[in-house]
Chains A and B, each alone.
Chain A
Amino acid sequence: MILVDKHTKVIVQGITGKMGAAHTKRMIEYGTNIVGGVTPGKGGEKMHGAPVFDTVKQAVEATEATCSVIFVPPYLALDAGCEALDAGISLLVLITEGIPPLDTAKLVAQVKAKGAKLIGPNCPGIITPGQSLIGILPGTIFKSGPVGMVSKSGTLTYEIALALTESGLGQSTCVGTGGDPIKGLDYQECLTMFENDPATEVIVMIGEIGGNAEEEAAAFIKKTIKKPVIGFIAGQTAPPGKRMGHAGAIISGGKGTAESKLEAFKANGVRVAMTPAEVAKQVAEALKQPAKA
Chain B
Amino acid sequence: MNLYEYEAKRIFAEGGINVPPSQRITKPEELAKVHLGYPLVLKCQVLAGGRGKAGGIKFPKNLKEGMALAKDMLQLSIKDSKTESLLVEPAMPIARELYLAVTLDRDRGCPIFIASAEGGIEIESSSNVLTEPIPNPYHPFVGRNLAQKLGLKGAVLNKVADIANKLYKIFESKDLDLAEINPLVITEGDDVVALDGKIIINDDAIDRQPQFRGWEEAHLCDLSVRERNAKMNGLNLVELDGNIGILCNGAGLTMATMDMVKAFGGQPGNFLDAGGGSDQKKTLAALELVNDNPNVDVILLNILGGITACDEVAGALVEFMKKYPERAMIVRLRGNNQDIAEKMLAQSGLKLYPDLEEAVKEAVSRSKAGSSKKPVAAGKA
Q: Which residues of A contact B (CB under 8 A)?
A: 19, 23, 74-75, 97-102, 105-106, 108-109, 124, 136-138, 141, 151-159, 162, 179, 181-183, 206, 208-209, 211-213, 216, 232, 234-239, 242-249, 253, 258, 274-277
A243 to chain B, nearest CB (A): 8
B208 within 8 A of A: yes
User: With A99-B204, A155-B304, A211-B106 known to touch, is A179 a contact of B262 (CB < 8 Å)?
Assistant: no
B260 within 8 A of A: yes
Cα distance A157–B262 in the bound complex, in angstroms: 20
User: With A109-B110, A159-B253, A159-B256 known to touch, is A100 a contact of B204 (CB < 8 Å)?
Assistant: yes
Q: Provide 29 A-B residue pairs closer than 8 Å at the C-beta atoms, listed in order of the A residue.
A: A100-B175, A101-B104, A101-B204, A102-B202, A106-B136, A136-B276, A137-B306, A153-B250, A154-B252, A154-B253, A155-B250, A156-B256, A158-B306, A181-B104, A208-B252, A208-B255, A211-B106, A234-B253, A235-B259, A236-B262, A237-B259, A238-B258, A243-B238, A244-B273, A245-B271, A245-B275, A246-B252, A247-B203, A277-B357
Choose from B104, B304, B336 the contact partner of A159 (Cβ within 8 Å): B304
User: With A75-B208, A100-B204, A276-B356 known to touch, is A244 a contact of B255 (CB < 8 Å)?
Assistant: yes
Contacts of A99 in B (CB 8 A): 204
Check A234–B255 contact: CB distance below 8 A. yes
Contacts of B110 in A (CB 8 A): 105, 109
Cα distance A19–B238 in the bound complex, in angstroms: 28
Check A155–B249 contact: CB distance below 8 A. yes
Contacts of B236 in A (CB 8 A): 243-245
Cα distance A133–B320 in the bound complex, in angstroms: 35
B36 to chain A, nearest CB (A): 35
Cα distance A208–B104 in the bound complex, in angstroms: 19
B263 within 8 A of A: yes
Check A245–B204 contact: CB distance below 8 A. no
Contacts of B177 in A (CB 8 A): 101
Contacts of A97 in B (CB 8 A): 276
Check A246–B251 contact: CB distance below 8 A. yes
Contacts of A213 in B (CB 8 A): 107
Cα distance A216–B274 in the bound complex, in angstroms: 30
Contacts of A108 in B (CB 8 A): 109
A204 to chain B, nearest CB (A): 13
B248 within 8 A of A: yes
Cα distance A268–B335 in the bound complex, in angstroms: 35
Check A239–B258 contact: CB distance below 8 A. no
Q: Which residues of B contact A (CB under 8 A)?
A: 104, 106-107, 109-111, 124, 136, 172, 175, 177, 202-205, 207-208, 236, 238, 240, 248-256, 258-263, 268, 271, 273, 275-277, 304-307, 334-336, 356-357
Choose from B248, B256, B268, B305 the contact partner of A276 (Cβ within 8 Å): B256
B206 to chain A, nearest CB (A): 9
B42 to chain A, nearest CB (A): 28
Choose from B107, B240, B273, B356 the contact partner of A245 (Cβ within 8 Å): B273
Check B124–A253 contact: CB distance below 8 A. yes
Check B334–A154 contact: CB distance below 8 A. no
Contacts A236-B259, A243-B238, A245-B271 known; list 13 others, CB within 8 Å.
A100-B208, A101-B177, A102-B172, A105-B110, A136-B306, A155-B306, A182-B104, A212-B107, A235-B255, A236-B255, A245-B252, A253-B124, A275-B356
Cα distance A152–B253 in the bound complex, in angstroms: 11
B240 to chain A, nearest CB (A): 7
Which residue of chain B has the shortest Cβ distance to A106 in the bound complex?
B136
Check B356–A156 contact: CB distance below 8 A. no
Check B306–A154 contact: CB distance below 8 A. yes
Which 4 pairs show the lowest CB-CB distances between chains A and B?
A153-B252, A245-B251, A155-B250, A156-B252
B43 to chain A, nearest CB (A): 23
User: With A237-B262, A275-B260, A277-B357 known to touch, is A105 a contact of B255 (CB < 8 Å)?
Assistant: no
Check B253–A275 contact: CB distance below 8 A. no
Choose from A98, A156, A238, A248 the contact partner of B106 (Cβ within 8 Å): A248
Centre residue among A97, A155, A275, A276 by max chain B CB count within 10 A: A155
Which residue of chain B has the shortest Cβ distance to A98 in the bound complex?
B204
User: With A159-B304, A276-B256 known to touch, is A244 a contact of B107 (CB < 8 Å)?
Assistant: no
Check A109–B136 contact: CB distance below 8 A. yes
Check A277–B252 contact: CB distance below 8 A. no
Check B104–A102 contact: CB distance below 8 A. yes
Choose from B251, B268, B307 the contact partner of A237 (Cβ within 8 Å): B268
User: With A245-B254, A249-B251 known to touch, is A181 a contact of B305 (CB < 8 Å)?
Assistant: no
Choose from B205, B249, B259 the contact partner of A100 (Cβ within 8 Å): B205
Check B106–A141 contact: CB distance below 8 A. no
Cα distance A141–B304 in the bound complex, in angstroms: 10
A34 to chain B, nearest CB (A): 17
B234 to chain A, nearest CB (A): 10
Contacts of A206 in B (CB 8 A): 252
Check B336–A138 contact: CB distance below 8 A. yes
Contacts of A232 in B (CB 8 A): 256
Cα distance A211–B104 in the bound complex, in angstroms: 12
Which residue of chain B has the shortest Cβ distance to A253 in the bound complex?
B124
Contacts of A74 in B (CB 8 A): 204
Cα distance A158–B256 in the bound complex, in angstroms: 12
